[in-house]
């Protein structure tokens, strides 16, 4: 089964497109409003952030793995006439994949500027984990026969055998992996919009109740209600926008291991899609993991961050436990991860908020509590103590590692544009 591509292909699109606008609602558990209203707010905020008007946006992309709202509703509400739109199925890993699609459709001449959004009442309407859902008695047929029949229905239950096998093969410990939550909670304490701003320790994670081994409650992300949006356009237009553009150097979309239908059947299950995706990402971006200053490794669970950093080559295979517990991912150290607090603390957005965070890092304009200067921009102190700064000093290069499942992932490398 040959899934390789020629990553030595022409790189004429490297740096030609950029993310120019980012926007979101707050992160709540109980938005008190519709996904349509959340999406509209997020898209409007992103257009305004870019310094554009609704007349400048003529493309729209969205994804829904549970609840969402179609592009047509948002475009209608904001009076946007579209030259292109598409709403696709999928959760995590969709953001980066849609960035690639946006570049493709602009390059093909279908439209000029694309708003990519995700809107969900992930706590108050459709809870992805299925907690509290009353459909437990619906008929077993098709794929459910090989999952729900055995009480294997949630993401945690589906991914746990992968996580457990990694512990078995490499000696990865619960303590090591718990550092992911502890570090992300430190970052979230410096993020005024994070849902969970309370710092927690490795001991807190290990003492939290078991959901399904090897996942404690605090190894699992929060479920929240939110809308988020990013705006993609060509670099020549990007230079006219309000903020320094986040140039897109390379992107990978839903790259998969073999047997995407049932990922337990093929290969060592302790490896994830990054083992394939890295061979597209780094050559296309023209940089390697050592060059990256900030990562956004998807943290639906503490383990997903570790597995991806390992398989994209930020450390040797099997040493992910050492990497995430070394402190390297902490603000102020060599390569901070999920400086917003990520899905574990800030809120759950199926990955789009982690791209937004890295765009703001590259603008050197992270929305922390640092004082505003006369120019209206934050005067970052780089004091990362609780309640303080979370801007990474001189951030020039970031990587997002999006996760759908162990078998499928997407990735995005961005650079601070001139």
Question: Catalytic residues, which ones?
Answer: 298, 348
Residues 368, 172: Cα–Cα separation, whole Å? 34
- Phi-psi map region of 4: left, alpha, beta (phi>0 left; psi -120 to 50 alpha): beta
Sign, CA torsion 107/246/113/24:
positive
Region binding another protein by CB under 8 A among candidate stretches 164-172, 231-239, 336-344, 378-386? 164-172
For residue 233, the surrounding DSSP H or E stretch is strand 225-234
Q: Which residue in 76, 90, 104, 129 binds another protein (CB under 8 A)? A: 129
> How do beta strands 397-405 and 294-297 pair?
parallel
Total count of residues recorded for the chain: 418
Q: Where are the alpha helices (DSSP H) in 240-328?
A: 274-285, 302-311, 320-325
Residue closer to another protein (CB basis): 19 or 167: 167
Task: Pick from 26, 90, 104, 130 the residue near another protein by CB under 8 A.
Answer: 130
User: What token pair was written down for 210?
Assistant: 């078991």
Nearer to another protein, 27 or 348 (CB): 348
We find the least distance from the C-beta atom of residue 312 to another protein, in angstroms, to be 20
Minimum separation from the CB atom of position 201 to another protein (A):
15
Options 53, 72, 138, 369; binder of another protein; rule CB under 8 A = 138
Q: Which of 7, 82, 86, 153 binds another protein (CB under 8 A)?
A: 153
Q: Which of residues 167-186 bind another protein (CB under 8 A)?
A: 167-168, 173-174
Q: How far is the CB of 220 from another protein (least distance, A)?
A: 10
Residue 193 touching another protein (CB under 8 A): no
Measured over the CA atoms of residue 131, residue 134, residue 137 and residue 140, the dihedral's sign is negative
Q: Is 318 in the site for another protein (CB under 8 A)?
A: no
If the CB atoms of residues 264 and 369 are measured against another protein, the closer one turns out to be 264
Three-class DSSP category at 95: helix
Q: Which is nearer to another protein, 108 or 139 (CB)?
A: 139
N- to C-terminal Cα distance for the chain? 42
405 exposure class (CB count in 10 Å sphere: 0-12, 13-18, 19+): buried
Q: How far is the CB of 132 from another protein (least distance, A)?
A: 9
- Where on the chain is the footprint of another protein (CB under 8 A)? 1, 129-131, 133-134, 136-142, 145-154, 157, 160-162, 164-165, 167-168, 173-174, 206, 209-214, 258-259, 261-262, 264-269
């Amino acid at each position: 089964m040959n899934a390789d591509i020629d990553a030595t292909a022409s790189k004429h699109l490297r740096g030609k497109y950029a993310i120019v606008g980012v926007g979101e609602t707050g992160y709540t558990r109980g938005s008190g409003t519709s996904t349509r209203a959340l999406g509209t707010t997020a898209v409007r905020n992103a257009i305004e952030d870019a310094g554009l008007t609704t007349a400048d946006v003529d493309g729209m992309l969205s994804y829904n793995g549970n609840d969402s709202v179609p592009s047509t509703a948002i475009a209608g509400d904001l009076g946007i006439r579209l030259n292109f739109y598409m709403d696709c199925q999928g959760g995590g890993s969709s953001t980066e994949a849609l960035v690639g699609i946006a570049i493709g459709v602009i390059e093909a001449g279908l439209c000029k500027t694309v708003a990519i959004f995700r809107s969900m009442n992930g706590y108050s309407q459709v809870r992805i984990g299925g907690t509290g859902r009353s459909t437990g008695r619906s008929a077993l047929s098709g794929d459910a026969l090989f999952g729900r029949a055995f009480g294997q229905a949630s993401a945690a239950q589906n991914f746990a055998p992968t996580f457990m096998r990694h512990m078995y093969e490499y000696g990865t410990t619960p303590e090591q992996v718990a550092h992911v939550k502890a570090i992300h909670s430190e970052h979230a304490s410096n993020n005024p919009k994070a849902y969970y701003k309370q710092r927690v320790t490795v001991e807190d994670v290990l003492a939290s109740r078991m959901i399904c081994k090897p996942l404690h409650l605090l190894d699992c992300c929060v479920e929240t209600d939110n809308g988020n949006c990013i705006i993609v356009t060509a670099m020549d237009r990007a230079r006219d926008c309000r903020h320094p553009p986040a140039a897109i150097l390379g992107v990978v979309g839903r790259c998969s291991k073999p047997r995407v239908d049932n990922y337990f059947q093929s290969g060592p299950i302790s490896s994830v899609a990054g083992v394939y995706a890295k061979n597209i990402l780094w050559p296309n971006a023209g940089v390697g993991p050592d060059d990256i200053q900030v990562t956004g490794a998807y943290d639906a669970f503490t383990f997903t961050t570790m597995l991806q950093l390992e398989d994209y080559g930020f450390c040797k295979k099997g040493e992910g436990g050492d990497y995430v517990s070394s402190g390297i991912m902490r603000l102020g150290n060599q390569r901070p991860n999920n400086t917003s607090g990520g899905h574990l603390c800030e809120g759950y957005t199926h990955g789009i908020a982690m791209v937004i965070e890295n765009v703001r890092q590259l603008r050197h304009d992270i929305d922390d509590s640092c004082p505003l200067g006369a120019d209206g921009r934050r005067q970052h102190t780089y004091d990362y103590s609780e309640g303080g700064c979370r801007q990474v000093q001189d951030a020039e290069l970031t990587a997002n590692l999006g996760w759908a499942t162990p078998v499928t992932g997407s990735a995005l490398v961005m650079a601070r544009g001139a």
